[in-house]
Structure 1
Amino acid sequence: MSTMPLTRHLLELRQRLLRSVVAIVLVFIPLFMFAGEIYTSLAQPLMQALPEGGSMIATDVTGPFLVPFKLALYLSMLLAMPFLLHQCWSFVSPGLYRREKKFARPLFVSSVLLFYLGAFFAWFVVMPLLFAFFVSVAPEGVAVMTDIGAWLGFTMTFVMAFGMAFELPVVVVLLVASGITTPAALSGARSYIVVGCFVAGMLLTPPDVISQSLLALPMWFLFEMGLVCSRWVQPMTNDGEALS
């Protein structure tokens, strides 16, 4: 583990932040040039669920410009996420012990892959089912025409929620590796954790049983997967070495 003055840390932090901003801008520029086409493509799950003759609307004067702009910005951050996480890793890695560095690398890769897996699962599996359900339960005589701004806020929140929820195996492994808990203790608290998964589904998704279950059940499965992986992990002492 290396040490450096506080000013060096601050300069290093500024450099990492600037690189992150530049990466987002470089991804954003080409996305913004085709923001309209990207919006049309990504809105297909909702458009296909709308009844014949249904459409999306813009209730705000600036909506037709700002919504594709925000969508391109959100996508640029999502696509640049591996680079952003790598900058975070590069900033904190000098302060880690050798075993912590060796242990953190696979967790870094796993966290990125799990985040994208959660985002893709939300977009390609959950969102079409939810849109079809919401449209089907609309009362007779009600024309379903979703505002484009409301659609963007709903979908981005949903995608981020699933992306973060899919990090559960990494959290479980980190808790065991840091010595905060053990696989046996987590296994004994399984019933409480399952309830917590459904509570998280209730808080992070719209108030309907389908969307809550579509988040809670994968979280339960991911917890079990993290529990299996944690059985191979040795907890570390304060000096970064594994306990025998």
Structure 2
Amino acid sequence: MSQSAKEDDELSGTEQPFVQHLMELRDRLVYCIIGLAVAAAVLAIWPGPSTLIDWIAHPIRVHMPPDAKLIAVGVLSPVLVPLKVLLLVAVLLALPWLVYQIWAFVAPGLYSHEKRFALPLIVLGSLLAYVGIAFVQLFVLDKMFAFIQNFAPASVAATPDVASYVGVILSLYIAFAMAFQVPIVVLLLVRFQLVTVEKLRAFRGYFIVVAFVIAALVTPPDVISQLALAVPMCLLYEVGIFASRWFAPPTRPGEQESTGGA
């Protein structure tokens, strides 16, 4: 039996009506909402929205005068900002559950060999997102705010609005979580034969330029945060190239002969 015939036989009987797909999607969305609600309820009880705000405000507070605090300019900021932070942390806490629901929805339509490498990539992508956010919180913010506070004139009191501060922090979290997915993108490109490892290596110089352009667009206008995003992207690009040798599809004998003959 040919390879294509085996793949067709593998998925035989898995086709589902469109309405059943919609029902499955609805169920998965409901499970996602329940997971988010549970995570938000747990965080609301402990450590609480106020403590979460204190955690994410710590990187800038250490570079402000001891008696200085973030200010709330908007009338609803004291309520809306903690809720926004609570929701974001709930999404991060429930991320494995959310990714599992996505996996459970798409898994029936995948071949067995696709499932073998898809699940590790999903787990790896979640871990890389956590690493990117932790890198922002533990390293980037401290260096960035030290630069900003030292750059401010002595006659200016740098006491940011809490809503503006949280907006900048959330944008950095998202930017770094997405940027740290570079190895996943490289592995998928190689796995689906959209590009070869040799072409990725040849594109290395162009990717460095692309990484710095992206960092300049999505980060605040300071050198620290731009370098902190661009340099890890370049390193993760190399990691993706190195790891792609285990995810590259096997070369069939006929393809190898034709390549050698060329």
Band the TM-score falls in, shorter-chain normalisation: over 0.9
Aligned residue in 2 for 1:229: 243
Give the secondary-structure state (helix, strand or coil) at the position aligned to 1:160. helix
Are positions 1:156 and 2:170 aligned together? yes
Q: Which amino acid letter does the alignment assign opposite residue 32 of structure 1?
A: A
Q: TM-score, normalised by structure 1?
A: 0.94
What secondary structure is seen at the aligned counterpart in 2 of 1:146?
coil
Deviation at residue 40 of structure 1 after TM alignment: 1.6
Match of 1:211 among 225, 228, 231: 225
Runs of 4+ in 1 over 6 A off after TM superposition: none
- Is residue 12 from structure 1 mapped to residue 21 from structure 2 by the alignment? no
Question: Which ranges of structure 2 fall in alignment gaps of 5 or more residues?
Answer: 1-10, 253-262
Q: CA deviation at 1:41?
A: 2.6
Matches within 5 A, 1:114-153: 114-153=128-167
Determine if contact 1:35/1:69 at 8 Å carries over to the other structure.
yes
- Indicate the residue corresponding to 2:85 in structure 1: 71
Determine the C-alpha separation between the residues in 1 that align with 2:247 and 2:75.
55
Alignment of 1:191-206 (within 5 A): 191-206=205-220
Task: Provide the rounded CA distance (Å) in 1 between the counterparts of 2:246 and 2:60.
Answer: 43
How far off is 1:231 after superposition?
2.0
Distance 1:122 1:178 in 2: 32
Are 1:24 and 2:3 an aligned pair? no
1:113 aligns with 2:127: yes
CA positional deviation for 1:38: 1.9
Q: Which amino acid aligns with 1:23?
A: G
Normalised by the length of structure 2, the TM-score is: 0.88
Partner of 1:29, secondary structure, is: helix
The range that moved more, 174-183 or 101-110, is: 101-110
Alignment root-mean-square deviation, CA = 1.1
Instruction: State the SS of the aligned residue for 2:247.
Output: coil
Tell me which moved more, 26-35 or 101-110: 26-35
Question: Within 1, Cα distance between the matches of 2:233 and 2:126?
Answer: 16
Q: Which amino acid aligns with 2:226?
A: Q
Cα-to-partner distance string for 1:214-237 (whole Å, 9 max, x where unaligned) = 1000000000000000122223xx
Q: 1:177 aligns with which of 181, 185, 191?
A: 191
Looking at structure 2, the residues matched to 145 and 57 of structure 1 have their Cα atoms a distance apart, in angstroms, of 7
Alpha-carbon distance in 1 for matches of 2:88, 2:66:
30
Bigger CA radius of gyration: 2
Cα shift at 1:243? 4.0
Partner of 1:58: 72
**What is the alpha-carbon distance in structure 1 between the residues aligned to residue 84 and residue 203 of structure 2?**
41
> Which of the numbers 94, 109, 116 marks the counterpart of 1:95?
109
Distance 1:162 1:113 in 2: 12
Q: Deviations over 1:26-75 (max 9, x none)?
A: 11123234111221232111111113432210001111111111110111
Asked if structure 1 preserves the Cα contact closer than 8 Å seen for 2:43 and 2:86, the reply is yes
1:54–1:143 Cα contact (<8 Å) kept = no
